[in-house]
Amino acid sequence: MTGNWDRQVDVVVVGSGAGGMLAALVAARNRAEVLIVEKDALWGGTSATSGGGIWIPGSDQARAAGFEDNLDDAFSYIRALSAENVPDENIRAYVDNAAAMLRWVTANTPVVYTAQPYPDYHAENPGGSITGYRTHLPEMLDGTILGDDLKTQRMPSPAASLFGYLNWTFAETYQLLYRGPGWLAGLMRNMAKYWLDWPLRFTSRKDRRLTLGNALTGGLRAALNAAGVPLWLKTPMRELVRENGRVTGIVVEKDGKPLRIGARKGVVLAAGGFDKNQQMREENAPLYNKAWASGGVTSNTGDAIRAGQAVGAGTMNLHSAWAAPVFHVPGEDRGRLCTIERALPGCIMVNQKGERYLNEAASYHIVGQQMARREREHRDASPSWMVFDYRYRHQFPMGPLLPLVPDWLQAGPVKTILKKGRTIAELAGQMGVDPARLEEQIARFNEHAARGEDPQFGRGQAAYDRMYGDPRNQPNPCLRPLTEAPFYALPIYPGDIGTNGGLRTNAKAQVVDDAGQPIAGLYAVGNNAASAMGESYPGAGVTIGPAMTFGYIAARDLTGAND
């Protein structure tokens, strides 16, 4: 059936997250005719729901902020953390091309990134950066430039927005978190902008003020629109077409009918992992076997990974995920990532025996891994419990539980999972744990926390821990005794923000078979591809940063760009 196409273009991109959209844009700017197909009714993928951060060593933005990075240090840092089966050349390709990718994005899209003084997750390791400036965050973007496409952009995660609809920047997050000067006026101003945005309020819940992952994906979509690149929604890929050893196109379903789309130069798979495919999780990732605990979007069901396997692609590290502790609110379709809350003073995490078993303030990937392993070995960590006192309750958020909002005014589903007791023993009864054991654990924790110490797990010692602590709380911004009644607890689960094992690729983002030979015409990026990070999480932005960088590399390779 060679050449028997319903439509033919140069490049077909499957998926509309940041990696896929950037690959499409770079290919289009290199004079290729490009089409993006997206299975969902919304575009943006998990990228749109995220914080939008990218981990970029040696960037122009970092240099402008006074940080002179060393790419060899960055390579050594990742190499030591990544899995042994990840080739050196894949890591080197990422490190060497990340800054060039960001430079291209800055020059060719409305997306503006700034380097942040955000330490690497293992900053004390050789090659790590304690001062930060490898993590970059997107600036706010006016969604007006998207026109009607704004309404079909995926909403941010409930964990990355206020009240589930109000977008906010990281700076605004910290202002609200610590209720710094002007916090209330700023909140009221942003709420007024949202509710007075007529006539949009009558047709959409979207906030036109795009931040974080919405700003990133919104800027990329605006650039694609300007370049004339179509994006078909509700168009799932059913299979790849391989002829004479080369992938020459795909079969999609559009308007209920099969459609054959030819790709003269190549196909880029950028459709995410198998976050919501329970069967694939059970078969491949038994440590992370709960699809409902994933923060990935519901359309991430591994279709493109299976399609790649069907044409001979190899896979790697399918057992791995971007692990994370998550809250699960009844009725929500994904887990809510718990990032900041665990490092703030006045809380601890315990298992179902009422025992602490980890450093709560470590990176969410490390905590998620430790929770999952604890559950596998002892069957007492899913759920675990975040325990906090009255002072914490009314000072900081705890997942879906908002400060300054009385318990009786919290949303109904939140109230069904919230436990409360006038004493630790009463709270333990609500949680179903041994009261004496929980009292002993908290008393032990309190004794040391009063001195700013945690001899059990070292909470607050690492630069990453302290970044999310309360700087007003000294001598340790992460530690304070739990003493003010009543006491509270919320269940927290070992989950993830997506799977990160996938199709085996080389340094050019080409999909390869089990023998390491490229499959001509086929590329994979983002969570469709096995991550160059292996099972590690070196710093904020090592999910989207590589997705965009390898999308950039793939597009340049398949179009023959050499500028």
DSSP 408-426: GGS-HHHHHH-EEESSHHH
Residues 6 and 135 occupy one common structural domain: yes
Residues 544 and 473 occupy one common structural domain: no
Q: For residue 174, what pLDDT is reported?
A: 85
pLDDT in tens, 279-318: 999 999 999 999 999 999 999 999 999 999 999 999 999 9
Q: For residue 563, what pLDDT is reported?
A: 53
Residues 108 and 219 occupy one common structural domain: yes
End-to-end, the C-alpha distance of the chain in Å comes to 36
Q: Residue 410: pLDDT above 90?
A: no
Query: What percent of the chain is predicted at pLDDT more than 90?
Result: 92
Q: For residue 562, what pLDDT is reported?
A: 64
Residues 405 and 526 occupy one common structural domain: no
Residues 263 and 366 occupy one common structural domain: no
Dist CA 413 CA 97 (whole Å): 45
Q: For residue 1, what pLDDT is reported?
A: 45
Q: Is residue 304 part of a domain?
A: yes
Q: Is residue 191 part of a domain?
A: no
Q: Residue 168: pLDDT above 50?
A: yes
Count CB atoms within 10 A of the CB of residue 167. 25
- Contact 419/426 with Cβ under 8 angstroms? no
Over range 112-140, report the average pLDDT.
Answer: 97
Q: For residue 60, what pLDDT is reported?
A: 98
Dist CA 207 CA 195 (whole Å): 9
Please list, in sequence order, all residues whose beta carbon lies within 8 angstroms of the beta carbon of residue 479, skipping any fewer than 6 positions away.
345, 448, 449, 452, 453, 454, 459, 460, 473
Q: Please state, rounded to an integer, the average pLDDT across all residues of the chain.
A: 96
Question: How many domains, the chain?
Answer: 2
Pairing verdict, β 502-503 and 315-316: antiparallel
Residues 118 and 240 occupy one common structural domain: yes
Q: For residue 227, what pLDDT is reported?
A: 98
Dist CA 553 CA 23 (whole Å): 8
Residues 89 and 21 occupy one common structural domain: yes
Q: Is residue 158 part of a domain?
A: no
**Residue at a domain's end among 449, 468, 496:** 496
Q: What is the CATH number of the domain that holds 384?
A: 3.90.700.10
**Residue at a domain's end among 461, 478, 496:** 496
Q: For residue 515, what pLDDT is reported?
A: 94
**Residue at a domain's end among 441, 461, 496:** 496
Q: What is the CATH number of the domain that holds 8?
A: 3.50.50.60
Q: For residue 2, what pLDDT is reported?
A: 54
Sole residue written with tokens 């359309």: 299
The residue among 269, 268, 251, 273 whose CA lies nearest residue 260 is: 251
Buried b (16+ CB within 10 A) or exposed e, 283-307: ebbebbbbbebbbbbebbbbbbbeb
Q: Is residue 166 part of a domain?
A: no
Residues 143 and 249 occupy one common structural domain: yes
Residues 263 and 340 occupy one common structural domain: no
Q: Is residue 167 part of a domain?
A: no
Residues 434 and 342 occupy one common structural domain: yes
pLDDT in tens, 24-70: 999 999 999 999 999 999 999 999 999 999 999 999 999 999 999 99
Query: What percent of the chain is predicted at pLDDT more than 70?
Result: 99
Q: For residue 170, what pLDDT is reported?
A: 85
Q: Is residue 512 part of a domain?
A: yes
H or E segment at 75? Answer: helix 71-81
pLDDT in tens, 80-104: 999 999 999 999 999 999 999 999 9
DSSP-derived letter for residue 245 is T
Count CB atoms within 10 A of the CB of residue 562. 6
Please list, in sequence order, all residues whose beta carbon lies within 8 angstroms of the beta carbon of residue 445, skipping any fewer than 6 positions away.
348, 356, 454, 456, 481, 482
Extract the tokens encoding 68: 């002179």
Q: Residue 134: pLDDT above 50?
A: yes
Side chain identity at residue 364, one-letter code: Y
Please list, in sequence order, all residues whose beta carbon lies within 8 angstroms of the beta carbon of residue 528, skipping any fewer than 6 positions away.
15, 269, 270, 271, 272, 273, 304, 305, 308, 502, 503
Indicate the pLDDT class of residue 173, thresholds 50, 70 and 90: confident
Strand partners, 520: 246
Side chain identity at residue 27, one-letter code: A
Over range 503-531, report the average pLDDT.
Answer: 97
Over range 389-395, report the average pLDDT.
Answer: 97
pLDDT in tens, 499-510: 999 999 999 999
Sole residue written with tokens 């932005």: 541
Q: For residue 409, what pLDDT is reported?
A: 86
DSSP-derived letter for residue 18 is H
Indicate the pLDDT class of residue 179, thresholds 50, 70 and 90: confident
Strands (E), 354-439: 384-389, 419-421
pLDDT in tens, 455-475: 999 999 999 999 999 999 999
Q: Is residue 206 part of a domain?
A: no
Q: Is residue 179 part of a domain?
A: no
Please list, in sequence order, all residues whose beta carbon lies within 8 angstroms of the beta carbon of residue 127, skipping any fewer than 6 positions away.
72, 73, 74, 75, 76, 77, 78, 80
- Edge-to-edge order in the sheet of strand 135-138: 54-55, 135-138, 113-115
Q: Which domain holds residue 491?
A: 326-496
Tell how far CA 408 is from the center of its chain.
32
Side chain identity at residue 539, one-letter code: G
H or E segment at 372? Answer: helix 364-378
Sole residue written with tokens 């997506």: 498
Q: For residue 12, what pLDDT is reported?
A: 98
Dist CA 240 CA 510 (whole Å): 15
Q: Residue 362: pLDDT above 60?
A: yes
Residues 86 and 134 occupy one common structural domain: yes
Please name the residue ranges forming H helices in 152-284. Answer: 170-178, 183-195, 212-227, 278-284
Residues 235 and 88 occupy one common structural domain: yes
Q: For residue 3, what pLDDT is reported?
A: 65
Q: How far is CA 157 from CA 23, 43, 173, 214, 290, in A?
A: 24, 14, 14, 10, 19
Q: Which of 57-61, 188-192, 451-455 has the lowest mean pLDDT?
A: 188-192
pLDDT in tens, 74-86: 999 999 999 999 9
How many CA atoms within 13 Å lie on the side-chain side of 8? Answer: 9
pLDDT in tens, 8-24: 999 999 999 999 999 99
